[in-house]
């Protein structure tokens, strides 16, 4: 279910962003490259909704996440929501 409340558009505080960046560290260098570019480009403009989408992606295994980032597959099941879709599209663009 998508959160359309105003809180989903609010920016998280600096402490939340710092912990999020730490949470996003991965075992595969390839994933880290996508994630680092994403944070470099969008880190200052993340909203609470985007943070939720990013956290959902971080719950995946490294190989499943890489498959999504490389567009080898598309989100399924609980990952089919606007937040995940938006974060994923931002991460895919950030690779260029």
pTM of the model: 0.81
Q: What percent of the chain has pLDDT over 90?
A: 66
Residue 42 lies in a domain: yes
Q: Which sign, positive or negative, has the C-alpha torsion 82, 50, 8, 20?
A: positive
In CATH, what number is assigned to the domain containing residue 35?
A: 1.10.150.250
Residue 3 lies in a domain: no
Residue 1 lies in a domain: no
What's the pLDDT score for residue 12? 78
Residue 81 lies in a domain: yes
Q: Are 91 and 24 in contact (CB under 8 A)?
A: no
Residue with tokens 């985007």: 50
Q: Print the domain residue range for 18.
A: 9-94
8/26 Cα distance (integer angstroms):
26
* Nearest alpha carbon to residue 38 among 6, 5, 4, 26: 26
Residue 4 lies in a domain: no
16 or 76: whose pLDDT is higher? 76
* Domain count along the chain: 1
Reported as a single tens digit per residue, the pLDDT across 22-32 is: 989 888 999 99
């Amino acid at each position: 279910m998508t959160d359309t409340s105003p809180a989903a558009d609010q920016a998280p505080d600096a402490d939340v962003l710092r912990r999020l960046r730490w949470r996003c560290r991965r075992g595969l260098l390839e994933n880290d490259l996508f994630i680092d570019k994403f944070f470099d480009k969008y880190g200052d403009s993340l909203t609470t909704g985007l943070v939720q989408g990013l956290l959902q992606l971080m719950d995946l295994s490294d190989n499943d996440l890489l498959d999504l980032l490389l567009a080898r597959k598309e989100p399924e099941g609980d990952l089919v929501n606007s937040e995940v879709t938006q974060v994923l599209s931002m991460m895919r663009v950030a690779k260029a």
